[in-house]
Amino acid sequence: MSSNQFAKKVRYALRFLPDETYIQLNYFAHFHKFANLKKPRTYNEKLNWLKLHDRNPLYTELVDKYEVKKHIKNKVGEEYCVPTLGVWDHFDDINFDELPQQFVLKCTHDSEGIVIVKDKNHFDKASAEKKISNALGQNFYYIGREWPYKHVRPRIIAEPYLVDNETGELRDYKFFCFSGEPKACFVASGREIGQTKFDYFDLDFNSLGIRQKYPNSPTPVKKPVTFEKMIELARKISKGFPHVRVDFYEVNGKLYFGEFTLYHFSGFMPFQPDLWDNEFGKWLKL
């Protein structure tokens, strides 16, 4: 069991704790101090304040990986949605004969129940079933007290396996949006080979020199072809919310919506340098 899996099990075991108590304990574990939730100032403090006080019922739809596609279709068009190949309640319901040679399985209610299948002929079905079934049995809300996940219906969806020919992977382009205005973004690369890199940029694609959890890429990250379109869509999609992170993919010049993230790293990840926690906090108006 990895350290991350162990930590997740410990957090899940503490699900009997009230939200604010749990949040403060978790915050202390990461920042070595308690969060100021009465007058939050930093970005991470404000994210945790939002968990406790911003209970827009639409958020449950936004974090559901299946339901959110209807929202994106209505906002900007179905062409920006990754196609859904199927949706099921249980792993045993999946008819793999109907799926293509390459596909991705995802759980609709969490961020870790993902199985990438590059060749169905060499697919470890037993391992996939164990991973997906374990994910279906957990309520992701208890991990970080991100309340929108509490009532998401646990399901499985299949999507096409996507890869960009130039980068050789599926990179994430993640935009921090505040009251409908994108302010910064980061690029997630190297995840599929277990060498995750995060690189943060302003909206002119200038490096911000931020590090969070993962190192920066040792080689320059190329600006995506659809970068300006990403900004345009992020602005439309995030309108009406105090804060949301809007994630995109670029695949051979085509732009796809990835997902909404309401609480970046669940509000428990320090910035390096930590001045950015204050700067992002200024952008987030409660």
Domain boundaries defined on the chain:
83-161
Residue-wise pLDDT tens digits, 135-153: 999 999 999 999 999 999 9
Can you tell me the mean pLDDT for 244-267? 97
**Residue 192, pLDDT above cutoff 90:** no
Q: What is the pLDDT of residue 176?
A: 98
Give the torsion through C-alpha atoms of 75, 78, 80, 86, to 10 deg: 120
**Residue 243, pLDDT above cutoff 70:** yes
Residue-wise pLDDT tens digits, 154-163: 999 999 999 9
Q: What is the pLDDT of residue 8?
A: 65
**Residue among 102, 267, 255 nearest 192 (CA):** 102
Place 56 in a pLDDT band, splitting at 50, 70 and 90: very high
Q: What is the pLDDT of residue 7?
A: 62
**Residue among 270, 218, 261 nearest 111 (CA):** 261
